[in-house]
């Protein structure tokens, strides 16, 4: 009986194997491919920026890592025809000094001829020539500039141009492959590859109180002439505008930096729609968190941005925020550093509402802050006074009511210091509070400017830094 059962089992197994073999021989083999589903979505800031008649294109809707690192040919083919060479001339300087020419790269971002580039490529120039990848040349109109982000917008009179779509720079991940595309020295488009080394980098190259430095750092080779070119992912979407390198030799050494596309998108829309930047601010002074400060505040980690000042009647003040709060999220995006916070807020316009999450006394709080115009408060300032301060190399403002109550002494606050200026040579730092000019008491910005102008050959400033008991003196010749 057992032997008979064994023969039956063996016969069944052989029949099954034979059937499978015949099936695979007769039926063609099929390949199964599993793909990730991509759901269309709005760009995170598109709804804040209404479309105009000449649209700049819809930003790429992807909110996840974008890299497909096996080859770059398709991305390069999509991008190189949309990267241009820009020659900027100051014709007055050319006539007088036989100089005044700068060159760089630019990116066509719309089929009707809008070109984004760096402000430092076009600044102080009055004539702009754009050469396309196919050798066509155009005279461009300067639509507007934003020194605070080192971006500028040009327009050429053309139609049906190849252009690059804006991607979502928030989805870019460290270690992701990217391409840097430029048109240096009129060599037509040059493509280099690298990976994202870091995000939210501040390298202290832009001047002014409202400068925004939250660069994407890569190791893609970028050399002089590539400024204003495109940083794209391996799909060919624009994720940054190449802006700067760190170098000691004057040549590329492995560190290049790009303005994130989400910030560039907002700046470009402002320049196109208004000719200038619409900069919204929270109305707070901020500083980086430290381990010591986190322990003092009872926080588990040194994450977020510490609020060291709240402007009276500003958006944050009206929303209930106070000095000592630690901002950790804006509109759901995590905030770890000052550059991140500045970039996130800079993507919105005055009047927009943003949701701010912050810690206060160890408890997570939320506030809806209406952003105010960064430039409205200074619109009544005497332009001659501002120009005088600029020649010295710094910006001043009066102390707020909140600061006067907290500090219990009057003074003038140093907002920012320009690089390579007279004031920078004194080793003064932003945040210095001037109390005396040549031993004379000052209470307002106007007092300080008047006394410096009357000082003669030498100016001595006395003052202090908040949080430090010592007083400091700085001397310079105006």
N-to-C CA span, the chain: 115
Cβ neighbours of 443 (radius 10 Å): 15
Alpha-carbon dihedral angle through residues 199, 203, 206, 211, given to the nearest 10 degrees: 50
Task: Determine if residue 135 is left, alpha or beta; phi over 0 gives left, psi from -120 to 50 gives alpha, anything else beta.
Answer: left
Residue 238 bridge partners (DSSP):
166, 232
C-alpha span between 129 and 108 (Å, rounded): 14
Crossing angle (nearest 10°) for helices 261-274 and 338-346: 40
What's the Cα-to-Cα distance from 474 to each of 96, 314, 414, rounded to whole Å? 38, 32, 13
Cβ neighbours of 380 (radius 10 Å): 6
C-alpha span between 202 and 207 (Å, rounded): 12
Is 249 labeled as catalytic in the residue annotation? no
Residue of 102, 148, 150, 214 marked catalytic: 150
- Length of the chain measured in residues: 478
Residue 62 near residue 43 (C-beta atoms within 8 A): no
Alpha-carbon dihedral angle through residues 64, 67, 73, 77, given to the nearest 10 degrees: 30
Is 227 labeled as catalytic in the residue annotation? yes
Burial class (CB within 10 angstroms; exposed 0-12, middle 13-18, buried 19+) of 92: exposed
Residue 180 near residue 222 (C-beta atoms within 8 A): yes
3-state secondary structure string across 5-51: HHHHHHHHHHHHHHHHHHHHHHCCCCCCCCCCCCCCCCCCCHHHCCC
C-alpha span between 126 and 464 (Å, rounded): 43
Residue of 211, 214, 227, 400 marked catalytic: 227
Burial class (CB within 10 angstroms; exposed 0-12, middle 13-18, buried 19+) of 350: middle
Is 150 labeled as catalytic in the residue annotation? yes
Residue of 102, 120, 163, 447 marked catalytic: 120
Active site residues: 120, 150, 227
């Amino acid at each position: 009986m057992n032997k008979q059962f064994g023969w039956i089992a063996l016969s069944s197994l052989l029949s099954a194997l034979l059937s499978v073999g015949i099936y695979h021989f007769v039926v063609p083999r099929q390949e199964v491919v599993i793909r990730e589903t991509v759901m269309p979505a709005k760009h995170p800031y598109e709804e804040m920026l209404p479309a105009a008649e000449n649209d700049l294109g819809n930003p790429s809707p992807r909110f996840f890592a974008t890299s497909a690192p096996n080859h770059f040919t398709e991305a390069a083919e999509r991008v190189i025809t949309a990267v241009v060479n820009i020659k900027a001339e100051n014709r007055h300087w050319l006539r007088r000094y036989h100089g005044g020419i700068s060159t760089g790269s630019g990116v066509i971002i719309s089929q009707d001829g809008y070109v984004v580039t760096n402000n430092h490529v076009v600044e102080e120039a009055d004539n702009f020539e754009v050469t396309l990848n196919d050798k066509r040349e155009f005279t461009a109109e300067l639509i507007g500039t934003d020194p605070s982000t080192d971006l500028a917008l040009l327009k050429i009179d053309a139609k049906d141009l190849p252009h690059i779509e804006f991607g979502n720079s928030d989805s870019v991940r460290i270690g992701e492959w990217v391409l840097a595309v430029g048109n240096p020295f009129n060599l037509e488009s040059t493509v280099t590859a690298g990976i994202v080394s870091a995000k939210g980098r501040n390298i202290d190259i832009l001047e002014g109180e409202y400068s925004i430095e939250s660069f994407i750092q890569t190791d893609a080779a970028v050399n002089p002439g590539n400024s204003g070119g495109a940083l794209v992912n391996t799909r060919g979407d624009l994720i940054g505008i190449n802006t700067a390198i760190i170098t000691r030799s004057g040549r590329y050494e492995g560190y290049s930096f790009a303005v994130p596309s989400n910030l560039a998108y907002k700046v470009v829309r402002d320049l196109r729609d208004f000719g200038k930047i619409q900069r919204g601010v929270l109305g707070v002074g901020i500083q980086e968190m430290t381990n010591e400060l986190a322990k003092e505040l009872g926080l588990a980690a040194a994450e977020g941005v510490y609020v060291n000042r709240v402007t009276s009647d500003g958006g944050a003040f009206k929303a209930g925020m106070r000095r000592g709060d630690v901002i950790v999220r804006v509109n759901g995006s995590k905030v770890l550093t000052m550059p991140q916070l500045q970039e996130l807020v800079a993507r919105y316009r005055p009047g927009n509402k943003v949701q701010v999450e912050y810690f206060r006394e160890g408890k997570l709080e939320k506030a809806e802050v209406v952003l105010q115009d960064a430039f409205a408060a200074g619109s009544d300032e005497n332009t001659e006074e501002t120009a005088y301060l600029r020649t010295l190399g710094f910006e001043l403002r009066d102390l707020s009511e909140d600061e006067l109550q907290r500090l219990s002494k009057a003074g003038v606050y140093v907002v920012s210091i320009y690089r390579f200026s007279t004031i920078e040579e004194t080793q003064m730092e932003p945040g210095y509070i001037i109390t005396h000019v040549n031993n004379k008491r000052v209470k307002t910005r106007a007092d300080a400017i008047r006394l410096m102008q009357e000082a003669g050959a030498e100016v001595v400033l006395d003052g202090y830094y908040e949080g430090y008991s010592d007083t400091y003196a700085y001397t310079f010749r105006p």
